[in-house]
Amino acid sequence: MSSLARRLRTVDYFTLGFGTMVGVGWLVLMDDWLTRGGPAGVMLAFAIGGLALLPIAVVYGRLVMAIPDAGSEIAYTARVFPSQASFATGWMMMLAYLIVCPWEAVAVGRLAAYLFPGLDTLELYRVAGKAVFLPRLAIGLALTAAITLINYRGIRLSASIQKWMTFALLAMFAAFALSAVGRGSLENLRPPFSRGGPISVLLVLQIVPYFMTGFESVPKCAEEASPEFRKRGFLLAILAALGVGVVFYTSVVALVAYLQPWQELASQRFATAVAFEHAFRSRRVVGLLLLAALFSLVKVFNGNFVAASRLLFALGRRGLVHAGFGRVHERNLVPSVAVLALGGATALATCLGDAILVPVTEVGSMASALGWLAACVAYFYLQPALKERVIAVTGMTVAALLVLMKILPFIPGHFTLYEWSALMIWAALGLAVRRRAPALAGGPELMKG
């Protein structure tokens, strides 16, 4: 099907899934999370969200074992739907990954400015009232260039960085958690919710898909599995990534709220760092925490970049966009044109600065849920077994509810004009690109078993 390098093993797929899922939201947006739901609301939302996403994870695991295609949702939907639906699914899912990349590029400048306040100088311009500073922008663009170069050089280098950054984050967080015992109080978690319990959980649950997006990135590199790889490893890696992700998110929220009264933290920039500095009374500990966050940022940037580039590659290979995007580098065996194109797009979006942080979370949640819904619908039609169809229907229901939470105007936290505008701009861009490249037809084919 392609000449991509075959170098990945199960542990690489796990670190791709988990690494793509867990970024620096736990540091950069903790104040927003606590404001939305309070500690119990946030923890319950991530736990419920992870459990609800389990059938979707199983669907992806089953699909990638049967159809190991870099296009993932594009390939699955092409088996049962017209090419227009296949393109729309892939284009929307690419948004879910691509939109994270400038988010991380902006966040690294924010992290650096927290340690070195002098970086908040030389204001260039403002976007939505938020200043864009030259030093912070330069740091974000430099990281974007580095990630692009790493992925241009080959999947083995990218996977190795992903693996080391992932395990470094997990080890450092475990050390922080053990060191924090006895430095806080359970009383700091009161009151458990920011408002009524159901509303608190709902407000956080709406953004959970964005922060849990990543387990389904595993199929995007399915064609790059090593010759010795066993297909069941795909499912194991997906389930492990989802489970560890839920444990990480719930644990970090519990730890932060344990260290300091959460209502005080809800109004603090970098609430997680503030809580640790207060508990340990040491700026050095904050420096180590930010180092862990930097590891996390790099891996989530890299993981989402890998997934987005494979989707663009798959679109090009199928003729759904310009065929050049489906080109593979002869020596590095990577989709080089797709990698360079997404590097440029990320750099442009990074120039929008801090204004993209919260809206990106909302749009990413919607895009992910739509992709999950399409994959589950495709699995329903491809799988004749009753048990598997029940799993598919469960996944479809969860994904559909997540979509409705963002579009129904009477639900708190629904899309505003900014989110709708961003979504419409992306859809219009996709329509313009789609018109230039006639699609290749895909035919329905039932899965066995």
Q: Which amino acid is at 247?
A: V
pLDDT per residue of the chain (449 residues) written in tens, 0 to 9:
457 888 999 999 999 999 999 888 888 889 989 999 999 999 999 999 999 999 999 999 999 999 999 999 999 999 999 989 999 999 999 998 988 898 889 888 888 887 788 888 888 888 877 888 899 999 999 999 999 999 999 999 999 999 999 999 999 999 988 998 889 899 999 898 988 788 889 888 877 877 888 899 999 999 999 999 999 999 999 999 999 999 999 999 999 999 999 998 888 878 898 899 888 888 888 888 888 888 899 999 999 999 999 999 999 999 999 889 999 998 889 999 999 999 999 999 888 887 766 666 667 778 888 999 999 999 999 988 999 999 999 999 999 998 888 888 877 767 888 788 888 888 888 988 885 545 444 445 556 54
Reduce the DSSP state of residue 141 to 3 states and report it.
helix
Which pair of tokens denotes residue 96?
Answer: 């879910």
Residues present in the chain in total: 449
Q: Does residue 164 sit within a domain?
A: yes
Q: Does residue 1 sit within a domain?
A: no
Number of domains in the chain: 1
Q: Does residue 441 sit within a domain?
A: no
**Measuring CA to CA, which residue among 379, 385, 389 is closest to residue 62?**
379
Which pair of tokens denotes residue 400?
Answer: 């559909």
pTM: 0.90
Distance CA 153, CA 161 (A): 12
The domain of 103 spans 10-435
Q: Does residue 214 sit within a domain?
A: yes
**127 phi/psi in degrees, rounded to 5:** -125, 120
Q: Does residue 449 sit within a domain?
A: no
Name the DSSP class of 219.
G
Q: Does residue 3 sit within a domain?
A: no
Assign residue 220 the CATH number of its domain: 1.20.1740.10
Rg (CA), the chain: 21
Q: Does residue 53 sit within a domain?
A: yes
Q: Is the separation of the CB atoms in 92 and 369 below 8 Å?
A: no
Q: Is the separation of the CB atoms in 363 and 422 below 8 Å?
A: yes
**Measuring CA to CA, which residue among 218, 203, 238 is closest to residue 303?**
218
Q: Does residue 37 sit within a domain?
A: yes
**Measuring CA to CA, which residue among 119, 133, 116, 111 is closest to residue 270?**
111
Q: CA angle 34-298-102, nearest 5°?
A: 75
